[in-house]
Amino acid sequence: MLIRESVPLAPYTTIGLGGPARYFADCASEQDVREAIELARARSVPLHVLGGGSNVVFRDSGFPGLVARIATRGRSFESSDDAVLVHAAAGESWDGLVAESVARGLSGIECLSGIPGTVGGAPIQNIGAYGQEIAETLVDVECLDRERAQPVTFARDQCGFAYRMSRFKGTDRGRYIVLGARLRLRRDTRPTLRYAELAAAAAKRGGVEGLEAPAAVALVREVVLELRSGKSMVLDPADPNTRSVGSFFMNPIVSAEVFAELKRRWDPPSFPAERGVKVPAAWLVENAGFRKGYTRDGVGVSTRHALALVNRGGTTAQLLAFAEEIERTVFEKFGVKLEREAVVV
């Protein structure tokens, strides 16, 4: 495993921000990961595990320890009754896995098309879009316990999944390094479209009802990619709006009492949630005065999506100051606290 020093981190993130890492290593195997852990301990420096860099923001000063980028590879598909068990290494491209699964006619993750990042980051974030979450199809997650240097596998029910949350992001943040994941995808099953925007867009293309299952799954992927591209949520070097980490804020879930007051005063859109009412963060951001295209000090709001904070030649300090202003203004106006989906290292 090659250890490099003073490696700029901005090129390893989709937002293109961040100073240098003191040490940097690509980990192409579990053994490389183990060596990275030992090296950080031996040199008494912090260790940060990096995937696709699509949900992470590094400080302008960089990172004072070792950044270990997970670069493991490998995908397999194994038939199991009426389903297929899919195993993928943590360093595999998430959308690459979705693309191959759809090409094989498998359903269960087609609505998660176009999400940047790696397989390893997907269960940590419990990625979701257009009515699907990875928690629905996940079988288990293979990890390495950083404290004991031992492998451990967590079944889906042990992962503590919630909206954009898991034990790996919450109670056990930083303890486990994801090495791989297994999913259970369905064969010969036409997708169920739960999200109104997706269903309407698919209907314009003829809908999925009259199609065989593989063709229906392929159509859903095409439509999702179109919708995401229209919001600059598919990575494209030619689109400056994609210099972001996607949605910077999560959609807040508020109590029925808080929502009743919001509805009385502002009548925002809403969606039902397990423990309250989900209010679109994009609506809160825009109605707090931060419209699409708003720009200040080299950072701003995407021209296509109010939740994407975009790097327009600025710095991490400017980005975080802008995010804090949005959070403060939303809270002062609506009494709702925005939580960040992006991870600031």
* pLDDT in the model for residue 1: 86
Tell me if the domain spanning 3-70 has CATH number 3.30.43.10: yes
The pLDDT score that the predictor gives to residue 234 is: 93
pLDDT in tens, 273-321: 878 999 999 999 999 999 999 999 999 999 999 999 999 999 999 999 9
Q: Could you list the active site residues? A: 164, 247, 341
pLDDT confidence of residue 272: 86
Domain chopping of the chain, boundaries: 3-70, 75-230, 240-344
Closest listed residue to residue 204, CA positions, set 226, 186, 182, 174: 226
Joined together, the tokens standing for residue 227 give 């919708």
Tens digit of each residue's pLDDT (9 = 90 or more) over 33-80: 999 999 999 999 999 999 999 999 999 999 999 999 999 999 999 998
Residue 81, pLDDT score: 82
pLDDT at 212: 96
- The CATH fold assigned to 75-230 is 3.30.465
In the chain, the largest separation of any two C-alpha atoms, in whole Å, equals: 61
Predicted local confidence at residue 274, as pLDDT: 79
d(CA 282, CA 177): 32
pLDDT reported for residue 285: 98
Which pLDDT band, with edges at 50, 70 and 90, does 12 fall under? very high
d(CA 320, CA 126): 24
Overall average pLDDT of the 8-29 stretch = 98
- Give pLDDT tens digits for 88-131: 999 999 999 999 999 999 999 999 999 999 999 999 999 999 99
- Give the pLDDT score at 144: 97
> Which amino acid type is present at position 201?
A
Could you report the per-residue pLDDT of 188-224, keeping only the tens digit for each?
Answer: 999 999 999 999 999 999 999 999 999 999 999 999 9
pLDDT of 98 reads 98
List Cα–Cα distances, 138 to 16, 161, 162, 256, 277, in angstroms: 31, 11, 13, 31, 26
What CATH number does the domain located at 240-344 have? 3.90.78.10
